[in-house]
């Protein structure tokens, strides 16, 4: 299930691409970098299976050699909503603070 939409800020959580990907793409996302989604659509991944694909503002790539000739996008699961990651970080920090609070103090 996709939990972000067009215009939302997302963070790349997976930037591990096959070594020869540069033959197909000119711009790749970088892990922990923030992007804005400019389009979401159905696409075909490198194994030729259907997949949800996203296009990002600031990253423009060549069109595919398929019948659709659409710009190559990125798998949607490579990204998480920025707000979701902020919430997770705040929750983790709060839990760590609670652990510190409940530690016995040496006197």
Q: What is the pLDDT along the chain (107 residues), one digit of tens a residue?
A: 789 999 999 999 999 999 999 899 999 999 999 999 999 998 877 777 788 999 999 999 999 887 778 899 999 999 999 987 666 666 666 566 556 655 655 65
Beta pairing class for 79-81 and 34-44: unpaired
Distance CA 103, CA 86 (A): 26
Model confidence, pTM: 0.74
Give 25-40 as a DSSP string.
Answer: -S----TT-EEEEEEE
78 token code pair: 């490579």
């Amino acid at each position: 299930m996709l939990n972000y939409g067009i215009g939302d800020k997302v963070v790349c959580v997976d930037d591990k691409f096959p070594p020869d990907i540069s033959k197909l793409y000119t711009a790749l996302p970088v892990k922990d970098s923030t992007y804005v989604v400019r389009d979401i659509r159905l696409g075909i991944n490198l194994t030729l299976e259907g997949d949800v694909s996203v296009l990002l503002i600031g990253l423009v790539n060549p069109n595919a050699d398929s019948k659709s000739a659409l710009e190559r996008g990125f798998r949607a699961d490579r990204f998480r909503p920025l707000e979701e990651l902020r919430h997770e970080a705040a929750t983790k920090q709060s839990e760590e603070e609670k652990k510190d609070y409940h530690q016995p103090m040496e006197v």
